[in-house]
Structure 1
């Protein structure tokens, strides 16, 4: 009985210590999934940053304020990062903004890969649109 109680006590302490690190908008980790939109009459940019631990931040270029939104579960965040990896942004050269534009960006350390669309003359791959819409659904 004492061994079982000791085991569960140690298990509880181990799980308690496994809580993922929390970040602030001023100190973000090296790996990020960034998406958003911009342009229009005011030229504002709304940028969302998802972290692997599920934290989600929003920045508006007009107000210059960053807020932390409701987080995704770690499982959802991992699924998003896996899908981002499948999109292989590093192998894509697609930069066709319009007056209103949308973007997906993969940040890993100091390396950034970005896809931008919005021009009526250049349509992005369906996979980018689907992934972007999926990401937008996480912030509603």
Structure 2
């Protein structure tokens, strides 16, 4: 399965920037599959299938986040992002590592999502 061709909802999160401008991007699909791709990679690496109850919670939290935060874009040299791809639209929140103004809920959700990756 290629996340680029996946038709249902997905949460895309990761970080990038710095001297190398390398981007690490993770895709959590609605079916529970988790993928990783670096900006230097040509294909996605599957990291496994997540618990369906946890996936539902992540999608619910992401929907609430984007309902409350109608987009936020203040990247810095190093930046973090969460995107919500649903139907034909993609919403995005991007914040810099040193930005005080970044949405706290986005940072909290990002940490929770990264825990999925760190468990692998």
Q: TM-score, normalised by structure 1?
A: 0.76
Q: Which residue of 2 aligns with 1:70?
A: 48
The whole-number CA distance in structure 2 between the counterparts of 1:90 and 1:72 is 26
* Gaps in structure 2 of 5+ consecutive residues: none
What is the rounded CA distance, in whole Å, between the counterparts of 1:79 and 1:115 in structure 2?
19
Give 1 or 2: higher strand fraction.
2
Number of the residue aligned with 1:126? 104
- CA gap of 1:26–1:87, structure 2 versus 1, over 3 A, is closer
1:102 is matched with which residue? 80
Unaligned runs of 5+ in 1: 1-22
Q: Give the total of aligned pairs.
A: 118
Q: Which position in structure 1 is the counterpart of 2:22?
A: 44
* Equivalent pair of 1:89/1:114 in contact (CA under 8 Å): no
RMSD between aligned residues: 1.8
The TM-score, its normalising length taken from structure 2, stands at 0.88
Rg bigger for which structure?
A: 1
8 Å CA contact 1:37–1:101 kept in 2: the answer is yes
